[in-house]
Structure 1
């Protein structure tokens, strides 16, 4: 065998070695840990937040109780360790019922109208605040006693009435509307009617940006 033959055999051996090593290099690359995806640009984050606002909007409109809707929302988005919505009464801010509220409730002059302002809270998050004017004569004495003496959510207390919720007006805000210490992403005005279709409660609900995950 001459020197040229030996040189050709050496080149063929080197080429074969490179081809054999290629799959191993590819396998090693595939086993390398994946790098974290880059954070979403601010524009995409705003779009994602707007989508969540609209999703909450539709859930509130289709639900019969703001308390129940927020409780399921809190659970789905992991807003608290225990997805239990509780009402926190806000005292010292009584408001006289506006004329539009009295008309919607069918309340005549001299009709007793009570006012209740609450925050609906899940964990440490204030999800919404509500102004609620209601007719105590259309509730049971037991319901009135609970509403007067506890922070129990209104919807949970009057549940036995089998009420229906009628949306009167609704509007979303994104970016959130500044409102005191909370940015408001959704405002809903609704009327609650009992099984006999008698209105007994008028609520103005302001949903906070804290409801977003």
Structure 2
């Protein structure tokens, strides 16, 4: 092949390669940072039995606050109706006392998640129940001495029923004591602010 033909062939090949990159650009747009961040958040949550521990590590790694501890601020309002099969899932009778917390879990001034937590009050100590009723300490920290394990029942991108608008990831989970007895039934709604 003569020198001019080789140069022309090189231009055509380069043009085709550039055309492929341009054609693939829209498809590659789906690999943007926010989706990757949701996947990273999913991995962080899956690595821990306590969402509080996972969120503190997430907050620290992302540098969201100088003091990266998680606080639980109560959301005002009356408790909703018990979810279907709640007492069956918690393994409690119709007369057993249940606790309920609807909280925003925050790192600094950033709300990372909104959680609905139904729990078997008689499986906690009186001190734990008092702390859950009065303060801003997350359930996971208060109940940590019980060495619970997390069982994720459902996970989806976006919100479950009861999640606020803008939820990017939601999980429904059961916390179990080492004996296997259920301790708490959770719906957790992770916000876009957790990804920024």
Q: Give the TM-score normalised by the residue count of structure 1.
A: 0.73
1:196 to 176, 179, 185: 179
Query: What CA distance in whole angstroms lies between the structure 2 residues aligned with 1:95 and 1:61?
Result: 28
> Displaced runs of 4+ in structure 1, greater than 4 A?
43-46, 179-182
Query: What CA distance in whole angstroms lies between the structure 2 residues aligned with 1:180 and 1:195?
Result: 29
Name the SS for the 1:210 alignment partner. helix
Query: What CA distance in whole angstroms lies between the structure 2 residues aligned with 1:205 and 1:180?
Result: 8
Higher CA-based Rg: 1
Query: What CA distance in whole angstroms lies between the structure 1 residues aligned with 2:128 and 2:118?
Result: 15
CA, structure 1 residues 93+58, in 2 after alignment: closer, same or farther (shift >3 Å)?
farther
Residues 22-57 of structure 1: CA deviation (Å, up to 9, x unaligned)? xxxxxxxxxxxxxxxxxxx9x748621101101101
Q: Which residue of 1 aligns with 2:140?
A: 155
CA, structure 1 residues 168+180, in 2 after alignment: closer, same or farther (shift >3 Å)?
closer
Structure 1: which 5+ runs fail to align?
A: 1-40
Q: Give the TM-score normalised by the residue count of structure 2.
A: 0.79
Name the SS for the 1:52 alignment partner. helix
Name the SS for the 2:93 alignment partner. coil
Structure 2: which 5+ runs fail to align?
A: 1-25
Q: Is the 8 A contact 2:47 2:54 kept in 1?
A: no
RMSD across aligned positions (CA): 2.1
